[in-house]
Amino acid sequence: MSQNLVSLHLAADDLSAIEAALDSLEQRLTGLVGLTPDERRQLTKMGDKSEAFCRQAVVTLGKHSEVLPRNFDLDEYRADLAALDVLRPILARLQRLYERMVDTETALGSDVMVGSLEGYAHLQVSGRGDGLEGLREALGARFIRKRRVETEPAA
């Protein structure tokens, strides 16, 4: 094989440990929510530029809670910011891990595709007469292009 971008070997005990770690994450992160695309679209979002404003607002409103209506839950407001600060580093680690997993999946798929193309090319050249014609044709079906059916112009 002329390409081997990655070699990944996960033993059964590794897979069990990974599954257990994922189970633990799911059990510990029970407060996470799932939003529909419409809900996501409709939310007011706090971007990088707005974050400084929000942090200052938490401090200011905490010092001057008398300006807030009674139904404004100042403790929950502060807790949301604190939870955001706790969640972000975890999310950053998971995003890095996810990106590496996606890159590894892409590299493995590429390794398999390159190996398959190489093997198919060798099969076409040296597999003749070895009773492999049916297998070669079956593999070659991936490369058959369907011809476009031309429509006759209307008279």
Q: CA 68 to CA 70: how far, in whole Å?
A: 6
Listed as ranges, residues in the chain with pLDDT below 70 are 127-129, 150-155
pLDDT of 13 reads 98
| Whole-number pLDDT of residue 101 | 97
Q: With pLDDT > 70 as the criterion, what percentage of the chain qualifies?
A: 93
What is the spatial distance between Cα 64 and Cα 58, in angstroms, rounded to a whole number?
10
Give the pLDDT score at 127: 64
**Residue 92 in contact with residue 105, Cβ under 8 Å?**
no
**Which residue blocks in 3-73 are alpha helix, DSSP H?**
12-28, 37-42, 48-63
Sign of CA dihedral 61, 62, 65, 71: positive
**Helices 133-140 + 74-126 axis angle, to 10:** 140
- Is residue 103 within 8 A of residue 6, CB to CB? The reply is no
What is the residue extent of each domain of the chain? 69-141
